[in-house]
A = this chain, B = another copy of it.
Amino acid sequence: MSNRKALPRMADVAKAAGVSSMTVSRALRGDASVTETRRADILKIAQEMGYILNRGASELRTRRTGFVAVTVPSINNPNFADSVRGLTDVLEQVGLQVLLGFTDYSVDDEERMIGQLLRRKPEALVVTGGTHTDGARALLANASIPVVETWDEPDAPIGYSVGFSNADAGARMARHLIKHGRRRIAFIGCDTGTDFRGEARSRGFFESVGQYGLETHRLIEAGKPPLGAQEGAQAAKTLLETYPDTDAVMCVADSVAFGAMTAFQRLGIAVPDQIAIAGFGAYDVSAFTTPAITTIEPHALQIGVLTGKLIARLLGPESDEPPVSHTGRAPTLIMRESTTGDSA
């Protein structure tokens, strides 16, 4: 039902149409030099024969693959999914195809993935975050294609970057909590050395907390990313045992905040009266919990879209304005009842 039979080649179409391969090639690509009637004729014949262009062969000759390689830690994360989606859509507009690789939050896996992806000769490469192995950096340096780091503001940028400061995002939330009267403040995050963006948020968060003279050690490491509601619920219990007087907690992601909130509520702890909860990521769920969860909107889709536009400009025809790294819209704090106590 699906076994290899010889697929027609361009030469076969040419023969059937009584022209040369070159004419078929031109007709298929819409080259103006082919007579309109002839072109229509060729297209019809190609269609009838079920001819499908072999892009691999064209690429070899033109040296343009139309691939953009992309590595993300995980696709099972609404934020990354949004970014990938935005990126894919924009690139599709200009005929570029995304090659996706998952790194599972491991820089070693990332290096391996990049090595694999580069063999496909992508015209640009998009990575998540600004932390990479030396090996990966070497690969990227040698590849001589545009590199875009996303979701971060790298200390040592490789090429372009489209992202924001996760530390600032954490700090912003800390100030919000403090402004609303919280003083014994905690953070639930991933284990150290795994999710670098989450760590940056935690770092910025506690830096800000410290600036107000408050305790900065209430950190719960809830496991390896990606963290979900399950881990959030577990971490909430740990938090209560370890620092029972905590009156506010930020979670590395909304999924975690949701799980933590549920755990508190089932233990009879009032949110936000006894403990305020904040998340990150503006997941859909956060707007519909009771109370709704204060969070930070990272504009994930826009990160993808901006990255796509940047790449389109880099690979497209020479533009007047040279493309530059783009920081996009800064993350937005979304205040909701889980920290403000205001009724819905």
Query: Which A residues have a C-beta under 8 Å from some C-beta of B?
Result: 1-5, 7, 50, 52-57, 59-60, 65, 74-76, 78, 81-82, 84-85, 88-89, 97-100, 102, 115-116, 118-121, 138-139, 142-147, 159, 228-230, 233, 255, 258-259, 262, 265-266, 284-285, 287-290, 344
Contact = CB atoms under 8 A, between A and B. Distances in A.
A82 B76 CA distance: 7
B118 A52 contact: yes
Given A81-B81, A344-B266, A65 B76 contact: no
A258 B228 contact: no
A255 B286 CA distance: 12
Contacts of A119: 52-55
Contacts of A143: 2, 52
A88 B99 CA distance: 12
Given A75-B85, A98-B100, A255-B284, 17 more contacts: A1-B159, A2-B159, A5-B144, A52-B119, A52-B142, A55-B121, A56-B59, A56-B65, A56-B120, A75-B75, A75-B84, A76-B78, A76-B85, A89-B102, A228-B284, A229-B287, A230-B287
Contacts of A228: 284
B75 A147 contact: no
A222 to B, nearest CB: 14
Contact of A99 (B74, B99, B139, B288): B99
Nearest to A286: B229
Contacts of A99: 97, 99
A147 B119 CA distance: 26
A60 B65 CA distance: 13
A290 B288 CA distance: 12
Nearest to A255: B284
A316 to B, nearest CB: 14
Nearest to A262: B288
Of residues A52, A82, A290, which shows the largest number of chain B Cβ atoms within 10 Å of its Cβ?
A52
A265 B290 contact: yes
A336 to B, nearest CB: 13
A5 to B, nearest CB: 5
A115 to B, nearest CB: 8
A1 B158 CA distance: 8
Contacts of A290: 262, 265-266
B284 A230 contact: yes
18 contacts: A5-B144, A7-B144, A54-B60, A54-B119, A55-B120, A75-B75, A75-B81, A75-B84, A81-B81, A98-B100, A99-B99, A229-B287, A230-B284, A230-B287, A258-B288, A262-B289, A266-B290, A266-B344
Nearest to A228: B284
Of residues A59, A144, A262, A288, which shows the largest number of chain B Cβ atoms within 10 Å of its Cβ?
A288
A54 B2 CA distance: 28
B285 A142 contact: no
A284 B7 CA distance: 45
A7 B4 CA distance: 34
Contacts of A230: 284, 287-288
